């Protein structure tokens, strides 16, 4: 079982800087409970996490998890029961807008840091396999596009601080997403 502790840059963890390996269908289901548990544990402490990638729990594999609550937030919808948790396996960005948006970002793996100036594509299309191995495409804009790009970067060994134009320290009461 994967440790549910979030790996941080303070751990000097190489896993956060590795290119994740693609996984086989037989491995998919293994990561669902582990990623959900790790995010739940993180949220019980941090309160602002919106997704989690396997490298953040010590596994350099090509998978990340977005809970239903994040999809609801992206739609400004208080009824998260309309949405479902989604596992993104071996994802690839297949299309993106030319327009770049600068916005706020933080990361569970980069504690007590935040930025108001992380550039991301305004819109993206991403292909991935779901937890059943079904090929899917998601088209996203705004907040959800930002989350997808942030998590995808984790699989490429990239942290948001590598892209941020300015990074600020925050006190513990203002922990970042």
- Residues annotated as catalytic are 151
Let me know how long the chain is: 177
What is the Cα–Cα distance from 129 to 70, expressed in whole angstroms?
19
What number of other Cβ atoms are within 10 A of residue 118's Cβ?
Answer: 24
Count helices and strands (H / E) in the chain.
Answer: 3, 8
Q: Rounded to an integer, what distance in angstroms lies between the CA atom of residue 95 and that of residue 140? A: 11
Q: Which of 20, 42, 173, 12 is nearest to 88 (CA)?
A: 20
Contact yes or no for 48/73 (Cβ under 8 A): no
């Amino acid at each position: 079982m994967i440790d549910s502790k979030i790996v941080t840059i303070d751990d000097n963890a190489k896993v956060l800087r590795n290119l994740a390996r693609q996984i086989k269908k037989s491995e998919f289901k293994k990561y669902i409970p582990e990623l959900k548990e790790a995010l739940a544990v993180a949220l019980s402490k941090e309160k602002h996490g919106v997704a989690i990638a396997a490298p953040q729990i010590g596994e350099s594999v090509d998978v990340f998890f977005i809970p239903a609550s994040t999809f609801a937030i992206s739609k400004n919808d208080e009824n998260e029961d309309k949405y479902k948790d989604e596992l993104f396996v071996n994802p690839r960005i297949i299309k993106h807008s030319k327009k770049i948006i600068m916005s706020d970002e933080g990361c569970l793996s980069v504690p007590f840091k935040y930025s108001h100036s992380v550039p991301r594509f305004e819109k993206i299309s991403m292909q991935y396999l779901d937890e059943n191995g079904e090929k899917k495409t998601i088209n996203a804009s705004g907040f959800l596009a930002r989350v997808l790009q942030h998590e995808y970067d984790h699989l490429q060994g990239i942290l948001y601080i590598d892209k941020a134009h300015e990074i600020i320290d925050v006190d513990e009461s203002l922990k970042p997403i």
